[in-house]
Amino acid sequence: WREGYATRSQFSLDLGFADPDGVGRDNVVFMGGTYAYQLAKSSADVPLDFLLTAGAGFSFGNNTMLSVPLGVSIGHRFPLDGSLALTPYVHPRMSLDFCGGCKGDESQVGINFDIGANLELTRVLAVRGSAYFGGADRFGDDRNGIGISLVWTPPGLKR
């Protein structure tokens, strides 16, 4: 869920489910929230949009984890034929991560990034794909993943 808060800022909430590979790995439920502020819109001089992001995310499964990321999402919307549009993006960020039950309670600073694209089929329906790269961490996991989602934006919400 994403809601415009003001002309240049927005809130979003996420809820999901993951089924990690590996023996003894439980399913994971995760939820999080993000505040984003548009730092700059694309122009003739700089053809990219910059969005400052800050949030918090929780996951519950074999271990309980909390992540507090801060980053910048960089992308650009390219109109295609008719109502189609493609927005490729990259989202580098740093995070403060806490893990309860990971060889005791531990914390670490992480460097993560997403790379992906949003394909608008109409002004209210899109398909989004993303790859997440977090590298190996002290918690004993390789923190990489992929995601595909169907995005619905009700007509009443501003873009």
Give the whole-angstrom CA distance, residue 108 versus residue 43. Answer: 38
- Residue reference for tokens 């489910």: 17
pTM: 0.79
Q: From the DSSP assignment, how many helices (H) and strands (E) are in the chain?
A: 0, 10
Structure tokens at 135: 């590298």
- Tell me the average pLDDT of the chain: 86
Tens digit of each residue's pLDDT (9 = 90 or more) over 117-139: 999 999 889 999 999 888 656 66
Residue 117 carries which side chain, given as an amino acid letter?
A
Run means of pLDDT, 10 residues per run, the chain, 159 residues:
80 85 75 95 92 93 87 96 94 91 78 94 93 72 81 68
For residue 137, the model assigns a pLDDT of 63
Q: Among positive and negative, which fits the CA dihedral 26, 130, 157, 12?
A: positive
- Structure confidence at residue 59 (pLDDT): 87
Q: Which of 74, 66, 70, 64 is nearest to 38 (CA)?
A: 74
* DSSP labels, 35-56: EEEEEE---SS---EEEEEEEE
